[in-house]
Amino acid sequence: MVILTLSDLGRVFKHGCIEPRKRPTSLGRGKGRTRLMKKIHILGVAMVAMLAIGVVGAVSASAATVQWLKAGATITKTTGEPSLTTGEIVLGSTNGLKLGIKASVLCSGTFVGTVGPGAEDEVTGVLALTGGLVTLNFTEGGPLLNCVNVETCTSSSVAPVNLPWLSQLTSTTDDVLLPGAGGNPGWEVACVTSLGTVEETCTSTSQLSEVKNGASGEVLGLFIKSITATCTIGGANTGFVESSPTDATGLTTLANGEALSVSEA
């Protein structure tokens, strides 16, 4: 381990910079100063690395202090407990056709996935209101998630991309959607406009959902609007998802009907 001497540190605090030791003028003087600067550089790199490790540790610690519960008990099944999340969400873009055109659609459906063990939850599929499984993309056929126009799109269809989606509780009030095994979570939209049909895919590296325990064994979720998704046409920070203003919460329940809740670990 490289360590600065007390005399080195004293010269730093006294003068605001490193005061070179008084040595006889020689060809070796420059080498001594170089070695000292290398020591300072190595110490700085080590301090940055320690801070980075501390941040990662803090995130892991926060996730370790909260968990999903089944009937008030810790979920022990390593694959998690099957879950369903129903509700309405708004998907939108702020830079349609790279012309600053705002477009958004209101979609209803059910997220199929798992919760637990611990703070993790996952979406593995999406069901349309008809009960059919929505396909991963338009080229695979099958039922699509039918949506209604909010802005610009006279009609539209939506399908999820990069399933499964991974989420993690960071507190008893926050659940964050993160990249999963399939990549960054997102959606593909076919928006019919007066100019024709526009297909665009938007993905995000993080999406916050506020959660709270319901009164009947369910967990209520609210997607918070954040224009941070990257869209294939609009570009970076042009796509967003938010909970419907008329259906402010999504309901997450266990598929077997037992009570679901979030709690401090």
Q: pLDDT over 70 for what percent of the chain?
A: 72
Average pLDDT over residues 103-114: 93
For the chain, which residues make up each domain, given as ranges? Answer: 6-64, 69-264
Q: Which residues pair with 158 in a beta bridge?
A: 145, 189
Q: What is the mean pLDDT of residues 32-41?
A: 44
Task: Give me the pLDDT at residue 144, please.
Answer: 78
Q: What is the dihedral of CA 40, 42, 47, 52, to 10 degrees?
A: 150
CA distances from 117 to 81, 83, 180, 262 (A): 8, 12, 16, 11
| pLDDT number for residue 248 | 61
Least confident of 33-42, 82-91, 143-152: 33-42
Residue 132 has a pLDDT of 81
pLDDT reading at 16 higher than 70: no
Lowest mean pLDDT among 4-8, 197-201, 248-252: 4-8
Residue 53 or 252, more confident: 252
Q: Once rounded to an integer, what is the mean pLDDT over residues 158-162?
A: 92
What is the rounded average pLDDT of the residues 244-255?
Answer: 84
Which pLDDT does position 211 carry in this prediction?
96
Can you give the pLDDT at residue 142? Answer: 65
Answer whether residue 55 shows pLDDT above 60.
no
Rounded mean pLDDT, 17-39: 44
Of 132 and 111, more confident: 111
Query: Which band of pLDDT confidence, cut at 50, 70 and 90, is reported for residue 99?
Result: confident
Mapped onto helix, strand or coil, the DSSP state of residue 6 is helix
| DSSP structure class, residue 183 | B
Q: What is the pLDDT of residue 17?
A: 42
pLDDT for 9 = 34
Return the minimum-mean-pLDDT range out of 48-62, 82-96, 123-137, 206-220.
Answer: 48-62
Taking the C-alpha atoms of residue 123 and residue 162, their distance in angstroms, rounded to an integer, is 10
CATH code, 69-264: 2.40.160
Residue 191: its pLDDT value, please? 92
Q: Is the pTM of this model over 0.85?
A: no
pLDDT over 80 at 97, yes or no: yes
Span 30-39, mean pLDDT? 46
pLDDT over 70 (residue 1): no
Q: Taking residues 74-93, report their average pLDDT.
A: 95
> Do residues 219 and 261 lie in contact, with contact meaning Cβ atoms separated by under 8 Å?
yes
In the predicted model, what is the mean pLDDT of residues 70-83?
A: 97
Strand blocks (E) in the chain: 66-70, 73-74, 81-96, 101-115, 120-127, 145-151, 155-161, 165-169, 174-178, 186-193, 196-203, 207-213, 219-223, 229-231, 235-243, 250-254, 260-264
